Amino acid sequence: MDPRLPGLEPEERLLARAPVSFRGATAASARSTFALVAARKRMNAYHAWREHADTAGFTTAGPEMVLGVTDSRLVVWSTTFWLSRPGTIAGKVPLSRVADVATTRHGVVTGLALVLTSGEIVEVEAMRGRRLRRLADALQTQLETRQ
């Protein structure tokens, strides 16, 4: 992992990162493929998801973002225009606010559910499930060491 990612503290260690989309992004894209207003329908689905995420205290970085787990927090980066690499940090969730994490596979999509200590659940998904599962494993390990 590159420790020089934007927004990380000098002593902070990045354990895993994965590009993700909002939960339902793949289905929203598939449903709107043949619609004349495809982009608008996808953004409407994103805004509905974001409203719940905001209520839960999970700051998002748009429909596409990069999640990273460090030894102290979960980081949400915006993506750069070229190559979708981590850009600026849009949100941070202290690990003390995360109660549990789970992944599941839905066909070609892998979903990640974050259970926050408030009881809220925020879900994201990725087409490349391996990186997302690695992130979940790293997050789970950090949660277990904090108990």
Q: Is 8 part of any domain?
A: no
The answer to whether the CB of 125 falls within 8 A of the CB of 21 is yes
Q: Which domain holds residue 130?
A: 14-146
Average pLDDT in the 120-146 region?
A: 94
The CATH code of the domain that includes 116 is: 2.30.29.30
Confidence of residue 76 (pLDDT cuts 50, 70, 90): very high
Among the listed residues 113, 71, 112, the one whose alpha carbon sits nearest the alpha carbon of residue 94: 71
Q: Is 29 part of any domain?
A: yes
pTM: 0.87
Residue 80 in tokens:
């750069």
